[in-house]
Amino acid sequence: MGPLPQLYRYLVAGLVVVACLGTGVWLAGRLELPLGGIGVGLGAGCLLAYVLTHDFRRERSTRMTRRH
């Protein structure tokens, strides 16, 4: 999604975590997941929110000083 303003990053991350949490609880009804799917949903939501809001293209600025 690229570089987003801070407010939109929080909004996207919150919506993704809530959606994944709901999906985890829904899956717990169909499968035998521990804690009713809350752990699976939160884990997947946090991972997906990080992937969606992180800018992987940005290069880190590293300064190297050469001493002769």
Cβ atoms of 20 and 2 closer than 8 Å: no
Dihedral of CA 41/43/45/51: which sign?
negative
* pLDDT 10s digits, 10-44: 888 889 888 888 888 888 888 887 777 888 888 88
| Tokens describing residue 26 | 């829904």
C-alpha 23/C-alpha 46 separation (Å) is 13
Report DSSP state, residue 55: -
Orientation of helix 38-53 relative to helix 6-30, angle to 10°: 150
pLDDT at 52 over 60: yes
C-alpha 38/C-alpha 27 separation (Å) is 10
